[in-house]
Amino acid sequence: MSPIFGAYIIRKNWILIGDKKAAKCSTFWLLGLVILYFALCTIAVDYVKYIALPVLIIWYALECKPQVKFLKEQKVEYEKLSWLKPLGIAFVCLISWLLVVSLIGGGHSNSEISADACPIVEKILKGNYNLPNLKCERLFEITKDKSEKDTYFAKAVVKAEGEKIIISIKIEYIDDMVQVTILQ
């Protein structure tokens, strides 16, 4: 649900219409959306689902709708063109985007790390402390180790015997395995 392709089309339309001010504004929208979605897909993966729809609605209301209104008021004749070229360009952009994001990507998402590490934390603590009702509720302060690939540090909220305990852990992704080390 990205308005990037639409922002490109809106920008091209303003250029063809000859409205330099609106075209410049559309250029800022286009660049801003590219930067925003790149950041969301590489740094803030967990927030895409919360941000994508509101951004689409805001872009439509502030950028797209004014052009639709302008075209209706001016009674501009629309020349129907083939969709082959724009869809081809969109496809190439999508593949390029996916390649860049996968090469630069931020690694594992916080929700993926939590889902992978919490059961292991529970297993380690249950085995070492004989606490059958122990539950790893969530991870927080998840940070990527800059020196080691696929290594993260986090704090785990563990509930045992009615009390919540916070422990520091190290999570390593090695091939298809997840290794968790309790640090304290």
Q: What residue ranges do the domains of the chain occupy? A: 4-104, 110-182
Tokens found for residue 143: 């940070």
What global pTM score does this model have? 0.52
Ranges 103-107, 139-143, 172-176: which has the least confidence: 103-107
pLDDT value for 51: 86
Instruction: Summarize pLDDT for 102-132 with one digit per residue, the tens.
Output: 676 556 777 777 788 888 888 888 878 777 7
On average, the pLDDT of the chain sits at 83
What is the average per-residue pLDDT within 59-73?
91
- Contacts of 54-63 with C-beta under 8 Å, sequence gap 24+, read 55/3, 56/1, 56/2, 56/3, 59/3, 59/6, 59/7, 59/29, 59/33, 60/3, 63/3, 63/7, 63/10, 63/25, 63/26, 63/29
User: b/e for 144-177, b at 16 or more Cβ within 10 A?
Assistant: beeeeeebbbbbbbbebeeeeeebebbbbbeeee
